[in-house]
Amino acid sequence: MQPSLPSPRPAPCGHFAHRPRTGPAYLLAVWLSVAALRATRATDSVEYKFTDYAEENGRIHVVTQIARGQTEIGAARIAVQGTVDTITGATPTGEPVPAGSAQVPLARFPREIRRAATVEFGSSFGRNDWEASLSFSKEPDYVSRAFSVTDLMNFNRKDTVLRFGYGHSDDRVEPFFFPAPLKKHSDDLIVGITQILDPVTTVTFNLTSGTVRGYLSDPYKAIVKTVVIDPAHPDLMLTQPFPENRPAARDRWIALLGANHFFRPVDGALEVSYRYYRDNWDVASHTMELAWFQHLGPALVLRPDFRFYTQSAANFYAQTLNGTAIDPTHRSEGVGPFYSADYRLTRLTTTTIGLKLVARLGAHLSADLTAERYVMRGRDSTTPRSAFPSANLLSAGFSWIF
């Protein structure tokens, strides 16, 4: 399903549509922000990563495998990455808690597999380092194609780096119950600067502007309203589910400020960042992240990290349509009035605590192991507590440098 929301937890498989996805449409913005790091990886390498993301109480479970290879051919850098996600579990439908229960209704879906591929190209000329990527992702009900281009301009003997990037995606939403696939597309622009202040300190500031157009509703989410069955008998009423209806356009703006500092006396480094997000659905979010990189001898690095995220609610979020003048339909056409009971659009906070160990196993081989605990909590007075997930994440990987 399409990544219709800014993910409260972007890694490894944030909460997209009715279940987590990391397709090209979502990776577009991430790619633009990390291309500067990849542009510096000039050595040939092969990497593999295995990740297990499991929400509690039988919710979403995703097993992700990523393989990546990179090489140089003359002045060009070329990388190929393949991703396979195996997705099982259940997710809230958007309907309210039944009488006598504390659990929101869940929709269970069969095992699904998502496959994605990305090809990256890069080179350097003069003061410029550029990279471009092409991506494709396919699953039973969603297809995504994307590309991006990033240019890094170096000044002051590479103490100052300016970043410019553009990305575009074209997606198709095609559940089996749709008469025909529906389309959406997104565009993102990023400008930024990274400055080395001294040999042990750097700061980064990025600004991103993006637009998404097309079918932005989640075809698996519902909202209920109690309606009169027969106008001649106004006392005969029935509570019915209706498909949610989101706007067909979303404009977003992101500001990111980050800093890194190495502390020589303890042989460790601190990485801090703050991200502000705003869109025209009235969703505003703040993300703060801290990570400490501690060297434990020449071959081990331990990285504890903490991430806090908070957001406001979309201006059309509601638990039900009861008490409103809205007359819902069984179509999501992207024109008002708008309504959604998706818990990811309400006021909420998430916290993530993680620990990563990176080990150098030889001159060319390194391995890493990561464990994280993720908790989401609602901040409104209407959404049931059981709508919000908690999850555990485990991942392991290796990198072989030629």
Residue 80 Cα to chain centre, angstroms: 21
SS3 47: strand
Per the structure block, which two tokens stand in for 335? 């024109």
Looking at the domain 24-401, which fold is it? Porin (2.40.160)
Q: What is the DSSP letter of 343?
A: G
Amino acid type, 200 = V
* Helix, strand, coil % over all residues of the chain, rounded to 5: 5, 60, 35
Give the Cα separation of 184 and 13 in Å (integer).
20
**Which residues, other chains included, contact 292 with Cβ-Cβ below 8 Å and sequence gap of 6+?**
268, 269, 270, 271, 303, 304, 305
Task: For 78-105, give one letter per residue: b (16+ CB within 10 A) or e.
Answer: ebebebebebbbbbbbbbbbeeeeeebb
Q: Alpha-carbon dihedral of residues 321, 325, 327, 328, nearest 10 degrees?
A: -30
Residues 6 or more apart whose CB falls under 8 angstroms from that of 382 comprise 319
Q: Side chain identity at 262, as an amino acid letter?
A: F
pLDDT tens sequence for the chain (402 residues): 333 333 333 332 333 333 334 333 333 443 344 443 444 444 799 999 999 999 999 999 999 999 999 999 888 999 999 999 999 999 999 999 998 899 999 999 889 999 999 999 999 999 999 999 999 999 999 999 999 999 999 999 889 999 999 999 999 999 988 999 999 999 999 999 999 999 999 999 999 999 999 999 999 999 999 987 777 777 777 889 999 999 999 999 999 999 999 999 999 999 999 999 999 999 999 999 999 999 999 999 999 999 999 999 999 999 999 999 999 988 888 898 999 999 999 999 999 999 999 999 998 999 999 999 999 999 999 999 999 999 999 999 999 998
pLDDT confidence of residue 4: 32
Hey, what amino acid is at 60? I
pLDDT score, position 234: 72
What are the sequence ranges of the domains in the chain? 24-401
What whole-number distance in Å separates Cα of residue 21 and Cα of residue 91?
13
CA dist., res. 328 & res. 200, Å (int): 58
Neighbour-count burial of 232, counting CB atoms closer than 10 A to its CB (0-12 exposed, 13-18 middle, 19+ buried): exposed
DSSP state string for 262-285: EEGGGTEEEEEEEEEEEETTS-EE
**Pair 55, 63: CB distance under 8 Å:** no
**What tokens does 58 get?**
């039988």
Structure tokens at 212: 């998404």
Terminal-residue alpha carbon distance, the chain: 38
User: Smallest Cα–Cα separation from 90: which of 4, 173, 18?
Assistant: 18
